[in-house]
Amino acid sequence: LLVFQTEPTNALVKGSAPPEGYGKIKSQAPKEGASLDKSAEPSTIAEGSMEAAEGELSFTPSGVRFKDMVLGSGQEVGSDSKVSLRYRILRSGKRSYDGISGEGSLIFGLGYGEDDDKVGDTLKVGMGSGKMVKALEDGLIGAKAGGVRRVLVRPDMGWQKSDLEACAPKLDLGATGTVPGAITYTEGCMDLDLLPSPRTFQAKRKLARRFDESLIAEIEVVSVE
């Protein structure tokens, strides 16, 4: 019985050394002052999808999920701050593994010229005023001016009214044969007094079809007072 011993090698191909850094995982944390990638530009958003660089997924004490896509370097948002914001409200894409990353279809926005608005327009609102959807009241705390943060807006912390049974009649989709036993609610259950709010009829119709599902609010913090 003959036994042959061979020297161990890490080369990918005999006679060739592996490339530098082979086998190492590269960090994808966003850099301070970094910008969104090209697919997040308004022209791409207007076509219905976007991609964003990955940051660290975090949660507020109330359970609101958020992720900083661009780290700001200005003043931090507090519970009683007055803020100026630009935003996009998005429906999560199929490739979003955590409900907040990756692609998103535009529902409505402000400040990017994609809706009934102008590039540079902002929404000015006071934190803790009760004027914004609850997810943003909680999810924007700690964000800094110059940054971009994505916040997951669940229906119960978004535009959905709290008393679903009283706000409007329910529609039983099962009766139409679409989805047996499925229940949805009419747009009478949507609170359009909460900010951010769509400005055009088309945008309102888009939100009316999606307000009862989790949506992504991508918020650019322009200034903090």
pLDDT tens for 119-160 read 999 999 999 999 999 999 999 999 999 999 999 999 999 999
Report which of 55, 44, 59 is spatially closest to residue 90, judged by C-alpha positions: 44
Dihedral sign for Cα 105, 154, 85, 31, please: negative
Give the residue extent of every domain in the chain: 38-159+194-224
> Could you tell me the pTM of the whole model?
0.70
The topology under which CATH files domain 38-159+194-224 is Chitinase A; domain 3 (3.10.50)
Instruction: Round to whole Å and give the CA distance between 61 and 38.
Output: 33
User: Rounded to 5 degrees, what are φ and ψ at 42?
Assistant: -50, -40
Contact indicator for 144, 73 with CB cutoff of 8 Å = yes
pLDDT classification of 200: cutoffs 50, 70, 90: very high
- β-partners of residue 223 are 84
- What is the percentage of the chain residues whose pLDDT exceeds 90? 55
Residue 115: predicted pLDDT: 86
Give the residue-averaged pLDDT of 180-203. Answer: 80
* Span 64-96, pLDDT tens digits: 999 999 999 999 999 999 999 999 999 987 777
